Amino acid sequence: MKKKILRLLLISTATMLALPLTFAASAFPKTASCPIEGGIAHATGKTRKAMQASCTDVEYKHKGTDYSDPRHPQKFNHVFWITHCTD
């Protein structure tokens, strides 16, 4: 019984600590339109400083398969950077 209560307390504490991080608003959008395919690309979380002080470059990744030739589908992995400014 003690182990169940301890386990429940541990899980609930971890959940309460993780919730604010889950709902925190990031400084950049989580998704963007892929400039190559036009599909939805997802942010990888990698950032770098841009040339302007108030801007940040964010890395986005778009993975998928091109079925334009049904006999030979091609997998693709597009990685690109988009600059987001806070001004």
pLDDT per residue over 7-53, tens digit each? Answer: 877 787 777 766 555 544 467 889 999 988 888 999 998 999 888 88
> In 3-state terms, what secondary structure has residue 55?
strand
Q: How far is CA 77 from CA 20, 30, 41, 59, 74, in A?
A: 31, 17, 10, 13, 10
| DSSP E strand boundaries for 1-87 | 31-33, 40-49, 55-66, 74-85
Model pTM score = 0.64
